[in-house]
Amino acid sequence: LRSNETAPMKQWETVAIVGVGLIGGSIGIDLLSRGLAKHVVGIGRRPESLLAAKQAGAVTQTTTSLEEGVAQAELVVVCTPVGQIADDICRTFRACPDHALITDAGSTKAAIVAEVEKLAPRARFVGSHPLAGGEKSGPTAAVPNLFENRTVVITPTEKTDAADEARIVEFWTSLGAKIVRMSPEEHDRAVAAISHLPHLTASALAEATSTEDLPLAARGWLDSTRIAAGDPGLWKQILMVNRTHVLTAIARYEKVLGSLKAALENADEAQLEQMLTDAKRKRDALGS
Amino acid sequence: LRSNETAPMKQWETVAIVGVGLIGGSIGIDLLSRGLAKHVVGIGRRPESLLAAKQAGAVTQTTTSLEEGVAQAELVVVCTPVGQIADDICRTFRACPDHALITDAGSTKAAIVAEVEKLAPRARFVGSHPLAGGEKSGPTAAVPNLFENRTVVITPTEKTDAADEARIVEFWTSLGAKIVRMSPEEHDRAVAAISHLPHLTASALAEATSTEDLPLAARGWLDSTRIAAGDPGLWKQILMVNRTHVLTAIARYEKVLGSLKAALENADEAQLEQMLTDAKRKRDALGS
């Protein structure tokens, strides 16, 4: 080997994806279109979703049996709703080859990681959360390059094997993602504030709007409420699983909104402008 | 004339625009690029903004003197910050030709209309509010076709001349806008809910976010906080002028958010999912 020869990208022989919606389907599309996997098995409950995933080029084979689907997999990515992920990981562990790596795409991590470490301590599992969701869901929402330049949080613990962690990092990196490493608890606290709270405030704003006023909705309302169009069933699970942290984030938000309201009630123009300026500074730091 | 011949689009000889920022500049660009006006006079306090507006093709002439700028105008569009609009309209009325029409682009209407009807009752004024703002401001934010398919609310009163109203409708329609007619009071109530409240909730969300969590901000946070990047000085004025209606809108919003919070505190999954579903239905009615 010449010294300047880079190692070829490892190609997975078989990857199984449990749940082929927006996230799972997009993973499959990239694995296949980038030549990162030879076979991608799509596992789901509904044959019509599996068919849609296959037609979208997200999977090469499909099955409604998790046990059959993971039997040959080197890597299993569990992309089901958060309330179901720990169960699906444990079932995967019992049915997959010993060497198989398991990760997930759940929006919460502490409960999932704790349950897996308790019920399937020998599973080669590394928790993941790709910050690439949106208001659309299902296999028809899957798109190529969804993870390009997006952040994926991985949540290894002291029980995680370093080599397993490295391979999960390599997996997400091969899809173009940037990796952030956090503890499961720190992850859940942070996403309560930056993801789950915005969902609730967007929903509250949409719901607080009178139907008669909707024809006047312009860019501000449309942007601010966009994620309220997300799947209520999925979001209910996320909010319930992470409710302690979400309640803390709501309390913090209510306090800030209360200060803005007080400035307005008191006609305190200087205070109002200062708060708007502080908020603008935080928003400007992120770009559009 | 043959009966099927449509009337040619009237070309204004001279339109004066007081305040050549996002709205005023975009109006000027359309007036000139669509051949709707021969001369567009840009009026502003800062020579550098006037120069930028001229370079953007938004105006043909510029002046820092409102009185000189409106002296030859058939139509004057006042696009200054809301706290200044009524004054600028009254000054315009004293300096413009008797036949000149005056409108504005203020985000609130009741106080402006009342003050103009009191201090300049003979002004040929029709209040307007183009729902085409954004988080950017200033003449460099001006773009062509900003008003295409956007809503412009006009707020005539019983004192408004019907012919003047028709010409203002024609003016905004020539820029591609859809017209909604409301009373000044009804306008202010509605925009408090659909525009001013979202600005406050976006600002509160941005401000409630810890700087350390910002690297995890994804699409939801970015969308929900985008308008918090708006100009704090302009927004402070809007919120102050419309504070009674805005406080009512905040109270309504806090109640809805409180219900979501209670459902979460009580772990009432059914109630939580129902509220998220109701919010989604309202959001889905509007498209992206």
pLDDT band at A4 (very low <50, low <70, confident <90, very high): very low
Is it the case that residue B4 has pLDDT exceeding 80?
Answer: no
Q: How many CB atoms lie within 10 A of CB A281?
A: 15
ipTM of the complex: 0.92
User: Quick one: closest CA in A to B243, which residue?
Assistant: A264
Cα–Cα distance for residue pair B180/B79, rounded to 1 Å? 19
Q: Which site among A197, A278, A283 would you substitute to test the B interface, given the most B Cβ atoms closer than 10 Å to its Cβ? A: A283
pLDDT of residue B5: 43
Average pLDDT over residues B66-88: 98
CA dihedral sign, ordered A241, A245, A251, A253: negative
Six-digit token string for B273 = 């999912």
Nearest to B253 among A204, A222, A236 (CB): A204
When pLDDT is averaged across residues B105-133 and rounded to a whole number, the result is: 97
pLDDT reported for residue B10: 79
Q: Min CA distance, B177 vs chain A (Å)?
A: 13
pLDDT for res A137: 87
Residue B195 is nearest to which of A180, A220, A249, comparing CB atoms? A220
User: Which residues in chain B have their CB less than 8 angstroms from residue A207's CB?
Assistant: 256, 275, 278-279, 282
Distance from CA of A81 to the nearest CA of B (A): 14
φ, ψ for residue B286, nearest 5 deg? -100, -15
The CA distance from B272 to B260, in Å, is 6
pLDDT class for A7, splitting at 50, 70, 90?
Answer: low
Give A1's strand partners: none
Chain A environment of B183 (Cβ under 8 Å): none
Residue B7 predicted with pLDDT over 90: no
Please give the interface size between A and B, counted as residue pairs whose CB atoms are below 8 Å apart.
283
pLDDT at B239 over 90: yes
Nearest to A208 among B253, B276, B286 (CB): B253
pLDDT of A67-123, one tens digit each? 999 999 999 999 999 999 999 999 999 999 999 999 999 999 999 999 999 999 999
Share of chain B above pLDDT 90, in %: 93
Question: What sign does the CA torsion over B56, B62, B66, B71 have?
Answer: negative
B135 has pLDDT over 90? no
Question: Cα–Cα distance between B191 and B232 in angstroms, integer?
Answer: 18
Tell me the mean pLDDT in the region A242-249: 98
pLDDT digits (tens, 9 = 90+) for B43-70: 999 999 999 999 999 999 999 999 999 9
Residues of chain A with pLDDT > 90: what percent?
Answer: 93
Helix (H) or strand (E) holding A44: none
Q: Give me the DSSP letters along chain B.
A: --TTPPPPPPPEEEEEEE--SHHHHHHHHHHHHTT-EEEEEEE-S-HHHHHHHHHTTS-SEEES-HHHHHTT-SEEEE-S-HHHHHHHHHHHHHHS-TT-EEEE--S--HHHHHHHHHH-TTSEEE-EEES---S--SGGG--TTTTTT-EEEE---TTS-HHHHHHHHHHHHHTTPEEEE--HHHHHHHHIIIIIHHHHHHHHHHHHS-GGGGGG--HHHHHHHGGGGS-HHHHHHHHHHTHHHHHHHHHHHHHHHHHHHHHHHTT-HHHHHHHHHHHHHHHHTT--
Contact A213 B194 (CB under 8 A): yes
Q: Rounded mean pLDDT of chain A?
A: 95
Q: How far apart are CA A277 and CA A99, in angstroms?
A: 54
Neighbouring C-beta atoms of residue B133, cutoff 10 Å: 27
| Contact between B260 and A204 using a beta-carbon 8 Å cutoff | yes
| pLDDT grade for A131, boundaries at 50, 70 and 90 | very high
Please give the C-alpha separations between residue B145 and each of A164, A166, B28, B60, in angstroms, as whole numbers. 54, 51, 10, 18
Q: Is the pLDDT of residue A5 over 90?
A: no
Cα B261 from Cα B259, distance rounded (Å): 5
- Of B212, B217, B247, nearest to A286 by CB-CB distance is B217
Give the model's pLDDT for residue B2. 44
Sheet (strand B124-126) strand order:
B61-63, B37-43, B12-18, B75-78, B101-104, B124-126
Nearest to A219 among B134, B219, B261 (CB): B134
Task: Report the C-alpha gap between B48 and B52 in whole angstroms.
Answer: 6
- Summarised one tens digit per residue, pLDDT across range A29-65 is 999 999 999 999 999 999 999 999 999 999 999 999 9
Q: A1-9 long-range contacts, Cβ below 8 Å, gap at least 24?
A: A9/A35, A9/A36, A9/A174
Chain A residue with CA closest to B212: the answer is A190
**What value does the mean pLDDT of chain B take?**
95
To test the contact with chain A by mutation, choose from B203, B239, B253 the residue with the greatest count of A C-beta atoms within 10 A, namely B203
Chain B residue numbers with beta carbons less than 8 Å from the beta carbon of A264 are 239-240, 243, 246-247, 250
Task: List CB contacts of A287: < 8 A, sequence separation 6 or more.
Answer: none
CB count within 10 Å of CB B219 equals 17
Given this model, what pLDDT does residue A91 score? 98
Structure tokens at A112: 């999932």
Give the closest-approach CA distance of A209 to chain B in angstroms.
Answer: 6
Nearest CA in chain B to A129: B216
- Chain B residue numbers touching A257 (CB-CB < 8 A): 200-201, 204, 208, 250, 254
CB-CB: which of B208, B254, B272 is closest to A239?
B272
Q: Per the structure block, which two tokens stand in for A136? A: 């659309």
Q: pLDDT value at position B133?
A: 81
